Amino acid sequence: MRNLRSNNKIKAEGGTSAMTDLVFLLLIFFIILTTLISPPNIELELPSANPTKPDEKPEVVKVSVAADNQFYVGDEGNLVTKEELESTIMNQVLMTGDSIVELSGDKTSSWESNVAVIDIAKKNQLKIVIKTKL
């Protein structure tokens, strides 16, 4: 019997040498191109400025949330309820003249209490700083 299969088989492999050469030539092209392009060396005489003293620390409204979720407002730490919190913060803002709220929350206090202070600051367009320890 004769073998009907052909001995000439077509291999489905692609040559990678042409692709490697192309990538190598592109790499050389971009290396040469980037060395030719350099930013212009323009000499500039920059203006001088008088050094100013930084402003003193801005006044902040201190709000503390204790472990038992009690709110304390001001430097003295006046105890306020959740209902009185917004009006007390806004009174402190009017007295200090600055719109920064410093939130110090105990790590065991509930998130809800801390978020209540953040919501009040956001609602009244106040800046808020959350105090942490390193």
- Residue 48: exposed, middle, or buried by beta-carbon count in 10 A (0-12, 13-18, 19+)? exposed
Q: Tell me how far the alpha carbon of residue 113 is from its chain's centroid.
A: 24
Confidence (pLDDT) at 74: 85
pTM for this prediction: 0.55
β-strand pairing of 71-73 with 61-65: antiparallel
How far is 65 from 102, CA to CA, in rounded Å?
A: 11
Cβ count near 99 (within 10 Å) = 16
Rg of the chain, C-alpha, whole Å: 35
Compute the mean pLDDT over every residue in the chain, rounded to the nearest whole number.
Answer: 81
Residue 134 has pLDDT above 60, yes or no: no
**pLDDT, tens digit, for every residue of 61-92?**
888 998 898 999 988 888 999 999 999 989 88
We find that the CATH architecture of domain 61-130 is 2-Layer Sandwich (3.30)
How far is 46 from 104, CA to CA, in rounded Å?
A: 44
